[in-house]
Amino acid sequence: MRRTLAALTMATLGLTAHAADQIRIGFMSTLSGPSAALGLDIRDAFNLVVRNNGGKLGGLPAEVVVVDDQMNPDTGKQLTARLLKKDRVDVVTGIVFSNVMLAIAPSILENQTFLVSANAGPGAFSGEGCNPYFYVASWQNDGYHEAAGQFANTKNLKSVVLLAPNYPAGKDALTGFKRLYKGQVIEEIYTKLGQLDFAAELAQVRAAKPQAVYIFQPGGMGINFIKQWVAAGLDKQMTLIGPGFSADEDVIKAVGEPMVGMFNTSHWAHDLGNAENRRFVADFQKTYGRMPTVYAAQGYDTALLIDAAVRDAKGKIEDKATFGKALASANFKSVRGEFKLNVNHAPIQNYYLRQIWKDPNGRITNKLVGTVLTNHADAYAAACKMKAW
């Protein structure tokens, strides 16, 4: 007994004295239900980096504990407790939906565990609520929508109807769109999160007669909406604009031909010309047999960000200040091209315009059209009074 105790004490001392001997990642994502495709893409791309590095991140053996939040904040909370107390993870990542993020982030941040978002970047953690342990590898929630508002200006669309699910990211989305849009917003329609049938909303849109409709309907909701939009013949009466999420490979595969021509905004495109991206797109396709989505690109970048930070911190991930500083410097080549993290740890980056087309091989996919916003920073960062590490 005494020998065991002594061994344990020595083991604990050993842990604190040197660089960590492994990094434990709590990967919580939406892996089942109608929006599972999003989480699966993030997970697969994240694992791709770990696998390419021979099971390591930044030189440390990486143990990735994958759990499924089922898009349910309560499930997320229970899993968070498990990841923090039982698995004692160093970093939590992978969360797709903002409502899950808002529910679980406080306990993770209070525990002084690093939270690197691979998708949701809610306004609540971008301004006054910014936190030294909170990082966003993807985008601040408003970014895609601000870009869409700006695009509607340049296309001279004078009136719009906005449509989003009634949850935090839905409100962020419409706020974001309105921030740069100069035309008239005829109506804002909030739908239920996970809504199936949009016939009632489509009738409202038809009656309102806008020039364009902007939708934020991630995952399965977007597929349903666009199918019904086309069936109602609205595609011939007005322009449909969406953020990249509503017009990505997962949605295209389910809707097909009718989506050709749709404009959408994003921080990444599969045909961005940088070398990192070309390698990523080819690698992802070869490994998983499908085209990567923005979610996949984000999962890949998240893994690269953690990888770079562990390397720059020389493996001392238990030294919070060193590891935090390394994360904030985001010292890696992203598949989206140049970007950096703002004072609130949200990206400053370009937002692009994509349009769905039929490529010469007859495949329906996105085409990069141009840049809508250059080195765009979010509107919340000014309110963030956090001290740098």
Q: Does 231 bind another protein (CB under 8 A)?
A: yes
The residue range among 247-255, 267-275, 336-344, 372-380 that interacts with another protein, by the rule CB under 8 A, is 247-255
Candidates 19, 66, 186, 230; binder of another protein (CB under 8 A) is: 230
Helix axes 36-52, 275-288, angle to 10 degrees: 110
Residues 32-51 that bind another protein (CB under 8 A): 32-34, 36-37, 40
Candidates 82, 194, 274, 333; binder of another protein (CB under 8 A) is: 194
CA distance 167 to 190: 9
Candidates 204, 274, 287, 329; binder of another protein (CB under 8 A) is: 204
CB 46 within 8 A of CB 27: yes
Query: CA-based Rg of the chain, rounded to a whole angstrom?
Result: 21
Candidates 69, 250, 301, 307; binder of another protein (CB under 8 A) is: 250
Q: Does 77 bind another protein (CB under 8 A)?
A: no
CB of 176 to another protein, least distance (A): 16
Token representation of residue 358:
């039929």
Q: 254 or 260, CB closer to another protein?
A: 254
Q: 33 or 106, CB closer to another protein?
A: 33
CB 37 within 8 A of CB 219: yes
CA distance 366 to 349: 20
Residues 267-296 that bind another protein (CB under 8 A): 290
Candidates 77, 82, 179, 253; binder of another protein (CB under 8 A) is: 253
Q: Between 107 and 146, how does the x/- string for binding to another protein read (CB under 8 A)?
A: ----------------------------------------
Q: Tell me, by CB under 8 A, how many residues bind another protein.
A: 40
CB of 119 to another protein, least distance (A): 16
What are the two backbone dihedrals, phi and then psi, of residue 173, each rounded to the nearest 5 degrees? -65, -50
Candidates 55, 233, 261, 370; binder of another protein (CB under 8 A) is: 233
CB atoms within 10 A of CB 265: 26
Q: For 55-58, which contacts have Cβ atoms below 8 Å and span 24 or more sequence positions?
A: 57/23, 57/25, 57/303, 57/306, 57/307, 57/310, 58/23, 58/306, 58/307, 58/308, 58/309, 58/310, 58/311, 58/312, 58/313, 58/315
The residue range among 19-27, 253-261, 313-321, 322-330 that interacts with another protein, by the rule CB under 8 A, is 253-261
The residue range among 5-13, 150-158, 191-199, 381-389 that interacts with another protein, by the rule CB under 8 A, is 191-199
Q: Does 331 bind another protein (CB under 8 A)?
A: no
Q: 202 or 310, CB closer to another protein?
A: 202
CB of 220 to another protein, least distance (A): 4
Candidates 18, 51, 182, 192; binder of another protein (CB under 8 A) is: 192
CB 333 within 8 A of CB 226: no
Q: Looking at the chain, how many residues does it have?
A: 389
Which amino acid, residue 257?
E
Sign of the C-alpha dihedral, residues 95, 99, 103, 108? positive
Candidates 201, 301, 307, 312; binder of another protein (CB under 8 A) is: 201
CA distance 30 to 43: 10
CB atoms within 10 A of CB 30: 28
CB of 29 to another protein, least distance (A): 12
CB 94 within 8 A of CB 46: yes
* Residue where the block lists tokens 């993020």: 101
The residue range among 124-132, 254-262, 339-347, 379-387 that interacts with another protein, by the rule CB under 8 A, is 254-262
Token representation of residue 302:
């998240």
Q: 37 or 60, CB closer to another protein?
A: 37
- Contacts with another protein by CB under 8 A lie at 32-34, 36-37, 40, 166, 188-192, 194, 196-197, 199-201, 203-204, 206-207, 220, 223-224, 227-228, 230-233, 249-251, 253-257, 290
